[in-house]
Structure 1
Amino acid sequence: MIARFELVLCLCLMGTIAGVSHPEASQAQPPGPLLARIYPEASAMREKILWLDEGAQAQVRAKARAPFDEPHVSYTEIAGAGGVAGYAFVDDVKGLHEMITYLAALNSDGTVRAVEILAYREAYGFEIKHERFRRQFVGKRLEDPIRVGADIRNIAGATISTNAISTGVRKILALYEVGIKGMVTQGDNRNLPPSPRPSPARGGRGGLQDGYLEHDSGASIRRSRPVWGTTLTVEAADTDRGRDVLEAAFRDVESLTPVFSRYDTASEITRLNARPGEWHDPSVDFAALFDLSMSAARETKGWFDPTKRREGLSHVHLDGGASGRPARMRLDTGTALDFDGIAKGYAVDRVIRILRSAGISSGLVNFGESSIAAIGSPAGAGRWQISVRDPRRPKSVATQPLLRLAIRDAVVSVSGAYERGPHIIDPFTGKPPPDSLLAVVVGPLAAWDGARSDAWSTALFACGPKLLADAGAAGFEALWLGPAGPVRTKGFSAYEEGP
Structure 2
Amino acid sequence: MHTRVDIILSCQKSEKELMSAVNHIYDTLCQLERTANYYDPSSELALVNQAASTTPVVISQSLFSMIALCIEYHKKTIGCFDITIHSENYNQDTIHSIHLSPEASSIFFHQAGTAINLSGFLKGYALDRIKEIVNTHRIGNALISIGNSSILALGNHPSGMGWKVGFRNQTNSVQSDKDQSILLNNECLTTSGNDSCERKHIISPWSGQPLEGVRQVAVVTNDGTTGEVLSTSLFVANQEQRKVLTAEFLPSIIIDL
Q: What is the correspondence of 1:121-132 to structure 2 with a 5 Å cutoff?
A: none
Aligned positions of 1:53-92 closer than 5 A: none
- Counterparts of 2:27 and 2:159, CA distance in 1: 27
1:318 is matched with 100
Mapped partners of 2:73, 2:117: distance in 1:
14
1:299 to 53, 76, 83: 76
Once the two structures are superposed, the pairs formed by residues 441-456 of structure 1 within 5 Å of their partners are 441-444=219-222, 449-456=223-230
In structure 2, stretches of 5+ residues that fail to align are none
2:209 maps to amino acid: K
Matched residue, 2:60: 283
Deviations 1:193-224 (A, max 9, x none): xxxxxxxxxxxxxxxxxxxxxxxxxxxxxxxx
CA distance in 2, matches of 1:243, 1:422: 37
Code of the aligned partner of 2:33? T
Decide whether the 8 Å contact of 1:391 with 1:416 is kept in 2.
no
Task: Give the 3 Å change call, closer, same or farther, for CA 392–257 of structure 1 in structure 2.
Answer: closer
Structure 1 pair 431/277, CA: closer, same or farther in 2 (3 Å)? same
Show the counterpart of 1:439: 217
Matching residue's letter, 1:285: S
Q: CA deviation at 1:284?
A: 1.8
Q: Give the secondary-structure state (helix, strand or coil) at the position aligned to 1:256.
A: helix
Q: How does 1:419-434 map to 2 (within 5 A)?
A: 419=196, 420-434=198-212
Gap regions ≥5 residues in structure 1: 1-19, 21-227, 487-499
Asked if the contact 1:436/1:461 (under 8 Å) is kept, the reply is: no
Deviation at 1:410, TM superposition (A): 0.2
Work out the percentage of aligned pairs sharing the same amino acid: 22
Determine if contact 2:218/2:254 at 8 Å carries over to the other structure: yes
- Displacement after TM superposition at 1:467 (Å): 3.6
Return closer, same or farther for 1:467/1:440 CA change in 2, 3 Å cut-off: farther
Q: Distance in 1 between matches of 2:102 and 2:30?
A: 29
Within 5 Å, which residues of 2 pair with 1:129-144? none
Q: Structure 2 CA distance, aligned partners of 1:480 and 1:432?
A: 21
Partner residue in 2 for 1:415: 192
Offset, 1:333:
0.7
Counterpart-to-counterpart distance in 2, 1:418 and 1:434: 11
1:453 CA drift (Å): 0.9
CA distance in 2, matches of 1:400, 1:431: 31
The structure carrying a bigger helix percent of its residues is 2
**Which residue pairs with 1:236 in the alignment?**
9
Give the 3 Å change call, closer, same or farther, for CA 303–313 of structure 1 in structure 2. same
The one-letter code of the counterpart of 2:98 is V
Rate the CA distance shift 1:257–1:379 in 2: closer, same or farther, 3 A.
Answer: same
Instruction: Tell me the TM-score normalized by structure 2.
Output: 0.88
Picking from 368, 377, 380, the partner of 2:147 is 368
Q: What residue is the counterpart of 2:244 in the other structure?
A: 470
Q: Deviations over 1:351-388 (max 9, x none)?
A: 11100111111001100011111111111731211222
Asked if 2 retains the 8 angstrom alpha-carbon contact of 1:415 and 1:439, the reply is yes
Q: Distance in 2 between matches of 1:430 and 1:439?
A: 20
Amino acid at match of 1:458: T
Whether 1:335 aligns to 2:114 is yes
User: SS at the partner of 1:235?
Assistant: strand
Give SS of 1:255's match: helix
Tell me how far 1:432 sits from its aligned partner.
2.1
Computed over aligned residues only, the root mean square deviation of the Cα atoms, in angstroms, reads: 2.0
User: Is the 1:386–1:404 Cα contact (8 Å) retained in structure 2?
Assistant: yes
Equivalenced residues, count? 245
Aligned to 1:459: 233
Partner Cα separation in structure 2 for residue 360 and residue 396 of structure 1: 36
1:261 maps to a residue whose letter is N
Q: TM-score, normalised by structure 1?
A: 0.47
Say whether 1:249 aligns with 2:18. no
CA deviations on 1:293-327 (whole Å, 9 max, x unpaired) are: 11211111110000014122111112243xxxx72
RCO greater where, 1 or 2, for CA within 8 Å and sep 6 or more? Answer: 2
Distance 1:436 1:294, change over 3 A: farther
- Partner amino acid for 2:94? G
Question: How far apart, CA to CA, are the structure 1 residues paired with 2:42 and 2:210?
Answer: 29
CA distance in 2, matches of 1:385, 1:280: 45
Alpha-carbon distance in structure 2 between the residues aligned to 1:438 and 1:383? 24
C-alpha distance in structure 2 between counterparts of 1:248 and 1:265, whole Å:
25
Identify the match of residue 391 of structure 1 among 170, 176, 196. Answer: 170
* SS of equivalent to 2:82: coil
Superposition deviation, residue 478 in structure 1: 4.4
Structure 1: which amino acid aligns with 2:19? R
CA offsets per residue over residues 179-202 of structure 1, 9 Å max, x none?
Answer: xxxxxxxxxxxxxxxxxxxxxxxx
> Residue 435 and residue 467 in structure 1: after superposition, are their counterparts in 2 closer, same or farther (change >3 A)?
farther
Q: 2:41 is matched with which residue: 247, 265, 271?
A: 265
Q: Which runs of 4+ in 1 moved over 6 A?
A: none
Instruction: Note closer, same or farther for the CA distance 1:281–1:293 as it changes in structure 2 (3 Å cut).
Output: same
